[in-house]
Amino acid sequence: MLEEQILNSVKEAISIQHYLEKKESLDFIGTLAKWLFDCYENQKKVLIAGNGGSLCDADHFAEELTGFFRQRSRPAIAAISLSQPAHMSCVANDIGFDFVFSRAVEALGRHEDILVVLTTSGNSNNLIQAIESAKKLGIKTVAFLGKDGGKLKGMCDLEWIVPGFGFSDRIQEVHMSAIHIAIEAVENMICTPCLSVTSR
C-alpha cells in the first residue's frame, strides 16, 4: 500500500512537470531569462517575494543568482529575497502583514529593477501590495502563479500560471524547475563557456 501510494505520487510529480513543455511556459522562461540578463547588464537588481514554501523558493532563487548555479566563473547577479525576519516582524507588528513586502520594495527597489512574486493562489494581499508599490516606482513585475491565477492574474508585466492542480506543493515544484532553467539560461548568456560547478 505504501509503495503504491509513493509510486502514484511520483507519477503525479512527473506528469505536472510536463507543463514546462507548453509554448506559454517556454515563452515565459525565455522572457524571464532575457529580463534577468538585461537587469544584470544594466546593473539593476532582482527583488523576490513569496509566503511560506514560496518564501523559501524566493530565498533559493536569490542565492542561485548571488552565488552560483552551474557556472563558477560568472559574476554575481544582484538579487534580494524579501525575507529578512526583523523587517517582516517590525512591519507586521506596526502596520500589518499585508505590507511586509511593499515596505521592502519601497526601501530597496529602484526604477527598472525587477520584482518577482511567487504564489500558488495569486491571492496574497501582501504580494498584491508589493506589486502595486513596484509599479509606482517603475519596477518590472513578474508573477509565478498557480491554479486560476487568483487576484494577481493580469496585474504583472510578465506572468505564468501553472493551472489544473489544487495543491501548492506540485505547483511550487514546477515553479522551481522553471526558475532553475531560467537561471541556467542567464548564466550561459553572461559567461559561455565557463567552468561548471561540479559539487554543491
Cβ atoms of residues 120 and 168 within 8 Å: yes
Choice among 68-72, 98-102, 129-133, 182-186 with the minimum mean pLDDT: 68-72
Angle between helices 168-190 and 2-17 (to 10 degrees): 50
Which grid coordinates belong to 19?
A: 507543463
- Rg for the chain, CA atoms, rounded: 17
Q: Look at residue 99 and tell me whether its pLDDT is greater than 90.
A: yes
- Position 126 scores a pLDDT of 98
**For residue 200, is pLDDT > 70?**
no
pLDDT for res 191:
82
Asked if the model's pLDDT at residue 196 lies above 80, the reply is no
Per-residue three-class SS string for 95-152: CCHHHHHHHHHHHHCCCCCEEEEECCCCCCHHHHHHHHHHHHCCCEEEEEEECCCHHH
Arithmetic mean of pLDDT, 107-136: 98
Q: At what angle do helices 168-190 and 23-41 cross, to 10 degrees?
A: 50
Q: Of 54, 61, 52, nearest to 79 (Cα)?
A: 61
Cβ atoms within 10 Å, residue 107: 9
At 154-179, the pLDDT tens digits run 999 999 999 988 889 999 999 999 99
Buried b (16+ CB within 10 A) or exposed e, 167-184: ebebbbebbbbbbbbbbb
The mean pLDDT value of the chain amounts to 94
Does residue 193 have a cis bond before it (omega within 30 degrees)?
yes
Res 22 pLDDT > 70: yes
Of 71, 99, 72, whose CA–CA distance to 87 is shortest?
99
Assigned C-alpha cell, 142: 513578474
| Range 167-194 average pLDDT | 91
Check: CATH 1.10.3720.10 for 2-190?
A: no
Q: Looking at residue 165, what is its pLDDT? A: 81
Predicted local distance difference test score (pLDDT) of residue 80:
98
Q: What per-residue confidence (pLDDT) applies to 72?
A: 85
Q: What local confidence, expressed as pLDDT, does residue 147 receive?
A: 95
The closest of 79, 81, 70 to 189, measured between CA atoms, is 70
What was the pLDDT predicted at 185? 97
The four Cα atoms 97, 98, 100, 105 give a dihedral, to 10 degrees, of 180
Highest mean predicted confidence (pLDDT) among 24-28, 69-73, 187-191 = 24-28
Mean pLDDT of 12-21: 95
Q: Band of the pLDDT at 192, cuts 50, 70, 90?
A: low
